[in-house]
Amino acid sequence: MNPIGLVSRSGPERSVVAVEDVRFGQDFVVIAGPCSVESEDQTLAIAREVKGAGARMIRGGVFKPRTSPYAFQGLGLKGLKILKKAREETGLPIVSEVMDTRDVSWMGEYVDVLQIGARNMQNFSLLKEVGKSGKPVLLKRGMHSTLSEWLNCAEYILKEGNSRVILCERGIRTFETYTRNTLDLSAIPALKELTHLPVIVDPAHGTGRASLIPSMSLAAVAAGADGLIVEVHTDPAAALSDGDQSLTPSQFSSLNEKIAALRSFMDGLN
């Protein structure tokens, strides 16, 4: 038996994961929003900006796994209520990270996609719980993980009966220190050979530098990614987390225009 039989690609067909009117694996999906939900005004302002610039979903952390226990940990339930208000105003479905098995059920009442972060990729109890939930899952690659290890984690979710899984390459830890991580864009075509699941890219965590996000985003598009998840903040310098890797709304709008032009050019090559 193939150890990753459920996620393995056995033919030309690829899975499409539907989230309301968004189709991962069919559409090119850009998810954007703040690293952390900081306040209602901040989140609603960013939601309006990214919606106007072409984002299809909004991201926002309400439970933040931070290296330091003294760093901002998120607003929890209050943050989810803010995200819900942003969805009601803009129509953008929500992606947010779940960190605890006890939170899966009730978080699923607020968010449209449950994110499993890099640090929890091999939290097998959590993988099983989101598998049982039936909610779409955005599974990020662990920072030290091989493709095989990553796909086996997706297998845990599918084994519970939930095939609505989106893979997210977000960089791996190497000896390089200039960037936060090393964004492994070779993972995109490799995963297209190995699995039927959609694959998106997080160039923010992949580089840790806002100046590198546009280039790596376009490279991800050229490599065949099914979408991007990007951090956007109206005032990155004042962000409570990840300001260095957050685009301003104007930078995000400019990036989306370049993505559209590149995708149009690539369509002409086919």
pLDDT digits (tens, 9 = 90+) for 100-125: 999 999 999 999 999 999 999 999 99
pLDDT of residue 3: 61
**Which residues are 167's β-sheet partners?**
139, 199
| pLDDT over 70 at 144, yes or no | yes
Structure tokens at 41: 């005004």
In this prediction the pTM is 0.96
Tracing tokens 């964004």 back to the chain, one arrives at 183
Assign 2 a pLDDT band (cuts: 50, 70, 90).
Answer: low
CB atoms < 10 A from the CB of 164, how many? 24
The vertex-60 CA angle with 56 and 63, nearest 5°, equals 150
Give the pLDDT confidence of 58-91 residue by residue, as tens digits: 999 998 777 788 777 788 999 999 999 999 999 9
**Which residues are 38's β-sheet partners?**
none
Mapping DSSP to helix (H, G, I), strand (E, B) and coil, where does residue 42 land? helix
Exposure of 178 by Cβ count < 10 A (0-12 exposed, 13-18 middle, 19+ buried)?
exposed
* Side-chain-side CA neighbours of residue 144 (13 Å): 4
Which residue, among 3, 14, 2, has the nearest Cα to 192 in the 3D structure? Answer: 14
The full set of domains in the chain, from first to last, is 30-62+74-269 (3.20.20.70)
